[in-house]
Amino acid sequence: MVWSRLRRAGGGGSGTPSHHGHALALATIAIVLVATSGGAIERAAAAAPPPAPTIDAPASGEVITERRPAIRGTGVPANKVAVRLAGAEVCHNTPVKPDGTWECQPSTDLPVGRVRLVAVQVDNGQLESPAASVTFLVAPPAPVISTPSPGARVRDRTPRIKGSRAVAGARVRVFDRGRQICAAVAPRSGRWSCTPRSALRRGTHVLRASQRYRSADSPLSPKVAFRIVVP
């Protein structure tokens, strides 16, 4: 790669970068001034890494429930973006579109809890940019209540409440019209159960459940209404 020689010190001048006589493609270029023994000044052009891309979604501090969310950002058109989690790539060689945006979906589920993603972009010369990062929370899914079933008539005032779809180690809480009545830590199977701490009154009860794992709370489960019919 060459740049046309300028006039001696103090002189003006300009030049066009070229490689074997052909103009260079659009790229980030660092200019270095070199003084020769004859007093002339030459410009040498050296490629510089591209700037860090941006990660616009998920946003920093956001709470999401999707384990494979769309990850979006901006970069230099035609560059390729890699997104990494703990050093492992979850998105590989994602092209930056002509409008400067990029989007990818992780190839594997992101872990539940606090997640930090790092993104870099690589240009055609295989120069890697500095990294951009974002930290957000992946919330667990809402647990499922399977027992009592909707519309059930129960003759026990402390019925065992059972369910599934819990993350191993998560704390599942069960609410009756917004009041917590029992809780349990989910085992590896994800099937959980708990018993109300005090007897429930006769009549209709409306249950919902949520789970917390690594400081992330799930949405509430769908409502399950049942009746206690004991005297």
Q: Rounded CA gap, 190 and 193, in Å?
A: 10
Same domain? For 183 and 108 the reply is no
Same domain? For 99 and 170 the reply is no
Of 138, 162, 188, the domain-final residue: 138
Residue 215 confidence (pLDDT) = 86
- Which value, in Å, is the radius of gyration of the alpha carbons in the chain? 30
Output the domain CATH number for residue 151.
2.60.40.1220
User: Is the confidence at residue 36, as pLDDT, over 90?
Assistant: no
How big is the CA angle at 66 (ends 132 and 105), to the nearest 5 degrees?
50
DSSP conformational letter for 189: T
Same domain? For 169 and 215 the reply is yes
Output the domain CATH number for residue 95.
2.60.40.10
User: Is the confidence at residue 87, as pLDDT, over 50?
Assistant: yes
170-187 average pLDDT score: 98
User: Is the four-CA dihedral 35, 41, 46, 50 of positive or negative sign?
Assistant: positive
CA nearest 127: which of 69, 201, 51, 19? 51
Of 138, 165, 198, the domain-final residue: 138
Please give the residue that has the higher pLDDT: either 91 or 42.
Answer: 91
Counting the structural domains of the chain, the total is 3
Token digits of residue 187? 């085992």
Same domain? For 71 and 32 the reply is no
Same domain? For 75 and 125 the reply is yes
Position 46 confidence tier, pLDDT thresholds 50, 70, 90: low
CA nearest 174: which of 207, 204, 142? 207
165-179 average pLDDT score: 97
Residue 231 confidence (pLDDT) = 74
Same domain? For 72 and 27 the reply is no
Token digits of residue 168? 């191993």
CA nearest 74: which of 93, 95, 60, 92? 95
How big is the CA angle at 111 (ends 178 and 102), to the nearest 5 degrees?
110
Q: Residue 100 belongs to what domain range?
A: 54-138
Q: Rounded CA gap, 141 and 34, in Å?
A: 61
**Predicted TM-score (pTM) of this structure:** 0.70
Same domain? For 42 and 62 the reply is no
